[in-house]
Amino acid sequence: MTPHANPASLVDGTTETLSAVLPAGTMLHAWLKAAHPGRPAELKVAQGERELACLIAKNAEEFELLTLAVETGGEMLFSYDTATTVISIIYAYAPADVLDTGMTVLYSADANAAPDVPDGYHFRPPFGWMNDPNGFGRFGDKVHLFYQHYPHSLRWNTMHWGHAVSDDLLHWTHLPIFLFPSAELSARADGRGGAFSGTAIPLGEDAPGVRVFFTEQVRDRVPEEQIQLTAVSNDMVTANPPEVILPDRPAGLELTLDFRDPYVVKGPDGRWKMLLGSRDHAGGVILLYETNDPGAAGSWTFVGILHREDRFGMTAAECPCLVPLDGPANDPQTRWALTFGLLTSRDPATGRRNITIATVGRFDGRNFIKEFEQELDFGTDAYAFQAFVDGSGPVGIAWLANWTDVSNKANFPSAMTLPRQVLLRDGALLTPPVAAVERLRQRPVDDIMLRSGETVGLGNGAVEIVIDLAAPGAVFDLELDHPDVELGLRVGQEGLSIIYDIRNGKSPPRYIAAGARPSTLRVFLDVGSIEVFADGGRWTGTKRLPGSGAVRSARLVAPQDNVATARIWQLKL
């Protein structure tokens, strides 16, 4: 299903054409909208001289999804009149083996085209906007990543669920869009809501497929803007029509309208548990529901408030996640990690916004007893973290961004973080990258010049830098030359810091792990991001970088003998 010829070749006046060679049995998805009200959009699909279909959309506000099954393989011609028709996306896939072969994007418009990052190694959507990971888990023999998605621009709007699969958590195969907003919301491009964040669980050992849970938001809907829905997919590619399972918030708690992001997990007592984020007039709260239904299809009952966070004022807790850390879920001695974001929170000491909290304690199925708490990421740009138990322990991933930087007036291409382990070690929660990231190392770049204080060119900027210090907390500055920001990494008397300043005349937040005294640091650089893992993930810092430029060079400044070794690897998928 490789596109053939130029998808933007002008043929006859205002008629645009593209061609693609597609095998028999291909399914086409095309999004069209009318260029003007009252004049329908048309996309003609032909095979040789034979016209197969004329796909027609009448909506002039938002793109309509039109589908076509191609029975006979060969070269397909697509043509449309630019005076009447606007196209957002056309992609093709073979339903029989799409989980292995994925989809092929035949066309995307300038407004939603993926950024050109040929050597990038972070997950990015094939087109459009992306935020929270959803339904992250291993189902069958593949890891599935669903995510918040608006396909038609690089700005947040009506929410869908995108979808991809992987065998190793690093190489991803893009699949067709999985969940769609309601018909009412799909017809509008006003960002009034859609299929918000959630999770997925397997249907069962004898029933391949997944059940997904998600929040439907409709702004200004009365009495509830946010309600909880569930849908089933038997083929892991298309979802059946959803059903409402929680039509309203629990009464008597004086909750705001925030009621979202269901995370479903099997509890120690064998029952399915559902966590939801909300807030009251004191702060953020995590709500707990449970069901006796073995398939989690319904009969959900409210248990109570599982956890609350009032330190940052009236902030909404969202994207909760709960996973066992150091033993099986049914062992009373097992500790659990409860993570959640605090939307609109602000740390008064540093100015950082939208903090993500990680709380570790015991969970008996109805109560969570906190033992200790820490920030998940001192850079704050690992938001909406979602994890699942994969084999020997939990693995998680997050949106590599922060709502503070998002503007509805500017495009915002983003990525997911590197996938991370979730470990309990010596009274702290560690989130190092999964072991598979070492396979990204293509060749060594340097193991002498950086340590000696020389400037080292980083080529395309896709590198890993590993620094071993002579003693814990030995001070140094790593200066990174980026075209759009002042950027660096520092270990000093106050702790471990990512130096970040967009040079706009305003004082930036301080991205610091106060008091950290690391011995070893791994620094991953890619177009659009820096990720720092100190002492095996004891301190983790993630920062999204603006623009499309890469870090061009690195220079290490340190007192003599503070740095034992400094190595750089070129990375590539």
Does 2 have pLDDT greater than 70? Answer: no
Q: How confident is the model at residue 422 (pLDDT cuts 50, 70, 90)?
A: very high
> What are 181-222's pLDDT values in tens digits?
999 999 999 999 999 999 999 998 777 899 999 999 999 999
Segment 48-92, tens digit of pLDDT? 889 999 999 999 999 999 999 999 999 999 999 999 999 999 999
Predicted pLDDT of residue 11: 40
Q: What is the DSSP letter of 433?
A: B
Dist. CA 394–CA 391, nearest whole Å: 8
C-alpha dihedral, 303 to 309 to 315 to 320, nearest 10°: -50
Radius of gyration of the chain (CA): 24
CA–CA dist 227, 244 (Å, integer) = 7
CA angle 558, 525, 136 (to 5 degrees): 135
Structure tokens at 526: 């890619």
What's the pLDDT score for residue 208? 83
In whole angstroms, give the CA distance from residue 176 to residue 186: 17
Sheet holding 160-166, edge to edge: 129-139, 142-150, 160-166, 172-174
Query: Could you tell me the two tokens for 119?
Result: 């050597």
What's the confidence (pLDDT) of residue 5?
36
What is the pLDDT confidence band of residue 238, given thresholds at 50, 70 and 90?
very high
Residue range 430-451: average pLDDT?
A: 97
Q: What is the pLDDT of residues 21-30, one digit of tens each?
A: 999 999 999 9
The answer to whether 173 and 166 are in contact (CB under 8 A) is yes
Alpha-carbon distances, residue 515 vs 81, 345, 359 (angstroms): 62, 22, 19
What local confidence, expressed as pLDDT, does residue 14 receive?
87
How far is residue 148's CA from residue 144's CA, in Å, rounded to a whole number?
14
* Mean of per-residue pLDDT scores for the chain: 95
DSSP state of 438: G
Nearest to 330 by CA among 371, 365, 372, 368: 365
Mean pLDDT along residues 330-358: 97
Q: What is the pLDDT of residues 485-505, one digit of tens each?
A: 999 999 999 999 999 999 888
Q: For residue 207, report the phi and psi dihedrals to the nearest 5 degrees.
A: -135, 95
Token output for 349 = 């000491």
CB 143 within 8 A of CB 163: no
> What pTM value is reported for the model?
0.95
